[in-house]
Amino acid sequence: MQANTLKKPDWIRVKAPNSKGYKDTVDLVRSLNLNTVCEEAACPNIGECWAKKHATLMIMGDTCTRSCAFCNIKTGKPNILDPLEPQNVALAVKAMKLEHVVITSVDRDDLPDGGAQHIAHTITTIRQDNPGTTIEVLTPDFLRKDGALEIVVQAKPDVFNHNLETVPSLYASVRPGARYFHSLKILDRVKQIDPTMFTKSGIMVGLGESTAEVYQVMDDMRAANIDFMTIGQYLQPTPKHYPLKDYITPTQFDNYAKMARGKGFLMVASSALTRSSYHAGDDFKRLQEERLKARCNNHSNLY
């Protein structure tokens, strides 16, 4: 790998986190012994989100069994699962007064079910303690874990998210432990099990993919009945990670968004700072309001 020598453009710059809300969120996460993908993946939006007490909680530890070339989460042998984690997550959701929570996790290839039961238990515990909160899970791919996906879907998250991350031609170098069409298949399988459940996926750009390849991923996602799509700028965490090839312009992100909407996605987020959970709650709430308004309009047209 090599260091990123490209000059960071103005549209990708963010302020250092230093607000009271940010510090309060840090204290809360530490007090409950929780991990967040915001910290572990070095998310550029952490200052903005944590100032609003919006944190994406990462369950099943801070150590991943995969070694993706783009990811800043450490790789190694994970610790045993914390049986108190689902309850602590539910407590954090309540303390932050979240209307929508995104729960993600490391890959746990060491577990027979890939951690599916732990994810499901976390969903049900959050819902028991926070009945008004909508729940989005960003899951591993459960590769070679038969029955694992079904366990999570049966727990009834409001949104099932699994990221494709990049285009097929880059999988061998960017995401070597995963399989592109397997990831598509599990998202399609979610819809087969529960057609009412929203599905979501996202990719990074700036890794060397072509525009045509991005459009093909959109088509593949729609063929798998995926409802929501996110597109964000890849930022190389360290010189040891996959090298950044290009900064994508705001105009190109807008073009991607227009194309995705034209292909039929219900919700699209496309910008340099877009991440799976960035503004996820606001976007989901907006979609629900739009659907409610459409139903009311349809109902009034009957009279």
SS (H, E, C) 267-280: EEEECCCCCCCCCH
Collapsing DSSP to helix, strand or coil, 255 comes out as helix
Q: What tokens appear for 238 in the block? A: 């360290």
For residue 287, the model assigns a pLDDT of 76
Collapsing DSSP to helix, strand or coil, 35 comes out as strand
The residue ranges of the chain whose pLDDT is under 50 are none
For residue 23, the model assigns a pLDDT of 74
Q: What tokens appear for 282 in the block? A: 């606001």
State the DSSP string of 127-182.
HHH-TT-EEEEE----TT-TTHHHHHHHT--SEEE---BS-GGGHHHH-TTS-HHH
pTM of the model: 0.88
Protein fold of 15-300: TIM Barrel (3.20.20)
User: Closest Cα to residue 271, out of 44, 40, 98, 41?
Assistant: 44
Dihedrals phi, psi of 2, to nearest 5 degrees: -140, 160
Lookup result for tokens 């045993």: 80
Give all strands (DSSP E) within the chain, no chain letters.
Answer: 35-36, 57-59, 63-64, 74-75, 100-105, 134-138, 159-161, 198-205, 228-233, 267-270
Collapsing DSSP to helix, strand or coil, 257 comes out as helix
d(C-alpha 152, C-alpha 143), whole Å: 14
For residue 149, the model assigns a pLDDT of 97
- Are the beta carbons of 142 and 101 closer than 8 angstroms? no
Please state, as a whole number, how many other Cβ atoms lie within 10 Å of the Cβ of residue 23. 13
For residue 27, the model assigns a pLDDT of 76
For residue 41, the model assigns a pLDDT of 57
For residue 81, the model assigns a pLDDT of 96
For residue 137, the model assigns a pLDDT of 96
